[in-house]
Chains A and B, each alone.
Chain A
Amino acid sequence: SQQGEEDPQALSIQEGENATMNCSYKTSINNLQWYRQNSGRGLVHLILIRSNEREKHSGRLRVTLDTSKKSSSLLITASRAADTASYFCAPRAGNMLTFGGGTRLMVKP
């Protein structure tokens, strides 16, 4: 399976610090996507990185992709309490995404 696996499972930081989450997967992909889920809500798409890209930025988000290592990372800079949520990576192969168990991020004010 090309399921993404996030690491760490849980992360607790202070507001203003950076948060880094890692993702590993197993097979070749078309792209890799990161999603956020707030408690009691659906997943919200954050950023997509194509298989031929190595790094991508969106606001305070920075995503890297290393296809040789089958890994990706999501960096949130200058974190805010509102960033508290679960974060999922989702590698895409074919038409489907497969989601890992997520990283639960808590940002303390």
Chain B
Amino acid sequence: DAGVIQSPRHEVTEMGQEVTLRCKPISGHNSLFWYRQTMMRGLELLIYFNNNVPIDDSGMPEDRFSAKMPNASFSTLKIQPSEPRDSAVYFCASRSQGTAGNQPQHFGDGTRLSIL
């Protein structure tokens, strides 16, 4: 089985540019999560979707960040305009519904984003 697929793996861009990160969850999983990982703040949940609907976006840092899930097999996280402080590794994870909520999350290998 293919795992969670993220693209690109690395992105280097200048501040002010729009950045789009992509995620393909595991087929059949109905929950999708976006995280950001930095040395200073660790792993932070940005937003999560259930059945393609955003449920909790309280972790999204500010209006420059937006996320969409147009269908069950694709999600994007967009930063516009980007700033150097957005530099981090961004992870996508998916999870199946399972029973009693006891299902693990499956992570992609992340996108390492550097804003110059």
Contacts and interface: CB of A to CB of B under 8 A. Distances in A.
The reply to whether chain A is a binding partner of chain B is yes
Interface of A: 30-31, 33, 35, 40-45, 48, 50, 88, 92, 95-102
Chain B, interface size category, equals 20 to 34
Given A43-B91, A95-B50, A48 B104 contact: yes
Nearest to A40: B109
A99 B35 CA distance: 10
Interface stretch (B40-48, B65-73, B80-88): B40-48
**Main SS at interface, chain A:** strand
A99 B45 CA distance: 9
29 contacts: A30-B101, A31-B101, A31-B102, A33-B104, A35-B107, A41-B109, A42-B4, A42-B91, A42-B93, A42-B107, A42-B108, A43-B43, A43-B93, A44-B107, A45-B104, A45-B106, A50-B102, A88-B43, A92-B101, A95-B48, A95-B50, A95-B101, A96-B33, A96-B45, A97-B105, A98-B45, A99-B42, A100-B42, A101-B42
Contacts of A92: 101
**Main SS at interface, chain B:** strand
B116 interface: no
